Amino acid sequence: MANNADWTPVSREFQGVTMLLVPAGCFEMGGTMFPDQQPVHEICFATPFWIDQVEVTQTQFRGLGGVKAAPSGYSGDNRPVEVITWFEARDFCRLRGGRLPTEAEWEYAARGPDSLIYPWGSAWEAEKVISNRSDTRGSALAGSIPAGASWVGALDMAGNVRELTSSLYRPYPYDPADGREGNTGGEQRVARGGSWFDAVSSELRAQFRRRTNPNLGYGTVGFRCVRDVE
């Protein structure tokens, strides 16, 4: 896949959840704004994978057998799940026959071969993202801004809730073989995509990395799952 525009979104339902196909291809991972996004480096995917169209909703979580210790801070069937630990999110994706995305997979699904800054393009457009909201308002319904879709059709990849990835928070360049993937310990993980709380556009860039404690849940952090193509 050479350019974002070369791809037409492809969707499929798995257990009633819409997932989108992310084709094989390459992109430039990282950015120059913050030290932990450097160096910018090329990442390629030899095989495609599926990613959830929206962040896992509270209805999906309950209906598919999800288990977590604490209730979400903002209740609503179609609001994203939050106040969830990394381990609880990982286990839910496994229940679905999937897994949490690596941070490279997440960033590629958000930016594409064009290596955009935001899912919709490289210019900040506040009306395309759920951000800068008060604690009283909190999250919005998952997928409520179609105009903010990424090149594969994924929604809310900037804002609403940050999203957990499988990856340990370690320096770049990203290397899936260096121990940052497949680790089941309590080291800090990477969350992506910014949240409803964030007011600064730089924290809503697709390159932005936020470290998170895997044993804690936050009202600003949720997740989506990916699935290997069989």
Cβ density class 97-127: b for 16+ within 10 Å, e for less: ebbbbbbbbbbbbbbbbbbbbbbbeeeeeee
CA distance 46 to 145: 31
Q: What is the band of 204 on the pLDDT scale with cuts at 50, 70, 90?
A: very high
Instruction: Give residue 225's pLDDT.
Output: 98
Sketch out the chain's domains with CATH numbers. Answer: 9-228 (3.90.1580.10)
Q: What is the pLDDT of residue 37?
A: 97
Confidence check: pLDDT of 32 > 90? yes
Buried/exposed 191-208: b ≥16 CB within 10 Å, e otherwise:
bbbbbbbbeebebbbbbb
Q: In the structure, what pLDDT confidence band is assigned to residue 156 with cuts at 50, 70 and 90? A: very high
- At 104 the three-state DSSP class reads helix
pLDDT digits (tens, 9 = 90+) for 88-108: 999 999 999 999 999 999 999
Q: pLDDT tens, 119-145?
A: 999 999 999 999 999 999 999 999 999
Which band of pLDDT confidence, cut at 50, 70 and 90, is reported for residue 2?
confident
Tens digits of per-residue pLDDT, 48-86? 999 999 999 999 999 999 999 999 999 999 999 999 999
Mean pLDDT across the stretch 13-24?
98
pTM given for the model: 0.97
- Cα–Cα dist 123/71, whole Å: 36
